[in-house]
Amino acid sequence: DSGVTQTPKHLITATGQRVTLRCSPRSGDLSVYWYQQSLDQGLQFLIQYYNGEERAKGNILERFSAQQFPDLHSELNLSSLELGDSALYFCASSPRSVGGYGYTFGSGTRLTVV
Amino acid sequence: AQSVTQLGSHVSVSEGALVLLRCNYSSSVPPYLFWYVQYPNQGLQLLLKYTTGATLVKGINGFEAEFKKSETSFHLTKPSAHMSDAAEYFCAVTNSGYALNFGKGTSLLVTP
């Protein structure tokens, strides 16, 4: 157990739908990062939150959004889902910015859009 | 922007043989470099990291990597492969402090 908790582990939904993925960071970590992993794109950075504030954006689609709550858990919202959104979505956390710490990853949410 | 290139999407070694996974980085400022391992249906686990100081970095499970600035490389090695080392390995770089940029990954196959 890495200490980063992601729910649900698996999600199957239809095109056009909206889903919410949840992440609880490791105790004491203030930064949360979301990544998408697919066979063709590899690991793509989506977005980072630090202590409730958006800190950095990567290749995140406009249909996707995220937030970090006062208790530091984070949610990634995916809307108007397309088949191509099927992927593994990882959450990671670090004490502050990643710097020399590296990340601690959760076990991921596997999203299948049918 | 910083990036990494992992040479070889698949590497196959015999059990007991040397493991060498290659990573080259691009960065305009001194980088922080990382190697992660991903086992099937699991998240990524940190193997080792280079921040500053000693250029030869030792990690978990007998792995080590050497930061070579002149070659912009951070290759991962292990003297003797075990069957349990079969996994996907990712090299990553950051210098902004905001996010890690990952390579495409190298799948390591260990044969008996």
User: Taking the CA of residue B45 as centre, how many other CA atoms within 13 Å lie in the half-sphere pointing to its CB?
Assistant: 16
Best A34, A37, A89 member to test B by mutation, with max B CBs in 10 Å, is A37
What whole-number distance in Å separates Cα of residue A19 and Cα of residue A21?
7
Pairing state of beta strands A74-78 and A19-24? antiparallel
When CB atoms are compared, the residue of A2, A4, A98 closest to B100 is A98
- Give the pLDDT band of residue A91 (cuts 50, 70, 90): very high
Nearest CA in chain A to B88: A42
Q: Which residue of A has its CA nearest to B106?
A: A42
Interface of B with A (CB under 8 A): 32, 34, 36, 42-46, 49, 51-52, 90, 94, 96-105
Beta-sheet strand order (sheet of A19-24): A5-7, A19-24, A74-78, A64-68
Closest partner CB to B94 (pick from A98, A106, A108): A98
Query: Does pLDDT of A21 surpass 70?
Result: yes
Which of A38, A48, A50, A105 should be substituted to probe chain B, the one whose Cβ sees the most B Cβ atoms within 10 Å? A105
Residue B35: φ, ψ to 5°: -125, 130
Q: In B, which residues are within 8 Å of A48 by CB distance?
A: 98-99
| Per-position pLDDT tens, chain B of length 112 | 788 999 999 999 999 999 999 999 998 777 899 999 999 888 999 999 998 888 899 999 999 999 999 999 999 999 999 999 999 999 999 876 678 899 999 999 999 9
Give the model confidence (pLDDT) of A74-86 as tens digits.
999 999 999 999 9
Residue A37 confidence (pLDDT) above 80: yes
Q: Which residue has the higher pLDDT, B29 or A19?
A: A19
